[in-house]
């Protein structure tokens, strides 16, 4: 399911009159358990032989899932590969870079951290092979929580320069100053406001009330993040913007 994601990515650019192009990839939601034996009304998994009756089973009345996916399902690997192939086959003139704004993974509670990291690596490898001539700027999405930043930094070290890796390893945010260009990329990590165990946004109590009853219970049990500026992110963002402004990197 395509879910809203809470990502703030600032794209600072002095407009020099020249047109530029980039790909924006988001919400891949890779679900390794996707099965054509599943259907769009459940989790899209083959639960025929599973004891887990909580997930909808294949049912003649429900539309079945296709090999590339189903509108209500998270993505199969075939769908992701196919999308990558299309992007590779259509290298519109002058694609300068790729913004990859998170939610690469699927909300699949039972997958271990080790496997989630592996899936993120699979997608990272696919995008590396797809965009050999461009920089990919990756950002964390709310479905990508619960992973070790340092290990993700290792996956993304081909794209992120050392200075970016320093802050990413620690807190999941970074900036990249393109010295030869007029723009600067700032990538924030809004997951810092999420409760790591539930993924629920702690800033807005109203959000907690609209989750499933299970989430509400978990939210009530998890500590609310009261820190107004977790991991000093706003402070860092402000000073990064100030530095960029001084160097004339911001358009008005
Ligand atoms: C993901 O990577 C692992 C390890 O390299 C590999 O065994 C697996 O087949 C890959 N999965 C996909 C869908 O490519
Ligand atoms: C994250 O991984 C690094 C390197 O593998 C390790 O040193 C660090 O302790 C881990 N951090 C957490 C919070 O698990």
pLDDT in the model for residue 17:
54
CB 190 within 8 A of CB 10: no
- Ligand 1, CB cutoff 6 Å, lining residues: 77, 118, 122
165 CA to centre of ligand 2 in angstroms: 14
Q: Which helix (H) or strand (E) holds 128?
A: helix 113-130
Residue minimizing CA distance to atom 5 of ligand 2? 151
Give the nearest ligand 1 atom to 77 CA. Answer: 13
Strand order in the sheet with 9-13: 9-13, 183-187, 174-177
- Ligand 2, CB cutoff 6 Å, lining residues: 148, 150-151
Ligand nearest to the CA of 153: 2
**Per-residue confidence in pLDDT tens, the chain, 252 aa:** 333 332 333 333 334 556 778 899 999 999 998 888 776 555 687 765 444 433 444 455 556 778 888 888 889 999 999 999 999 887 666 788 899 999 999 877 678 899 999 999 999 999 999 999 888 999 999 889 889 999 999 999 999 999 999 999 999 999 998 777 778 899 999 999 886 556 566 544 444 433 333 333 333 334 445 678 899 999 999 999 999 888 876 543
The pTM score is 0.79
């Amino acid at each position: 399911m395509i879910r809203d994601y809470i990502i703030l990515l600032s794209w600072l650019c002095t407009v020099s009159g020249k047109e530029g192009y980039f790909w924006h990839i988001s919400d891949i939601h890779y679900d390794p358990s996707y099965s054509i034996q599943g259907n769009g009304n459940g989790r899209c998994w083959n639960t025929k032989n599973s004891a887990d009756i909580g997930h909808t089973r294949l049912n003649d009345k429900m539309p079945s899932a296709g090999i590339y996916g189903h509108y209500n399902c998270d993505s199969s690997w075939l769908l992701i590969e196919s999308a990558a192939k299309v992007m590779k086959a259509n290298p519109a003139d002058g694609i300068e870079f790729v913004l990859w704004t998170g939610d690469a993974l699927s909300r699949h509670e039972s997958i271990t951290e080790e496997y989630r990291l592996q899936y993120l690596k699979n997608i990272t490898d696919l995008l590396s092979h797809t965009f050999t001539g461009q920089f990919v700027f990756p950002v964390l999405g709310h479905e990508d929580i619960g992973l070790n930043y340092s290990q993700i930094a290792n996956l993304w070290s081909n794209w992120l320069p050392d200075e970016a890796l320093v802050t990413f390893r620690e807190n999941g945010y970074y900036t990249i100053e393109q010295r030869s260009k007029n723009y600067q990329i700032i990538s924030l990590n809004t997951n810092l406001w999420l409760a790591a165990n539930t993924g629920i946004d702690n800033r807005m109590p109203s959000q907690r009330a609209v989750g499933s009853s299970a989430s509400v219970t978990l939210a009530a049990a998890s500590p609310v993040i009261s820190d107004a500026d977790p991991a000093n992110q706003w402070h860092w963002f402000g000073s990064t913007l100030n530095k960029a402004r001084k160097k004339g990197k911001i358009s008005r």
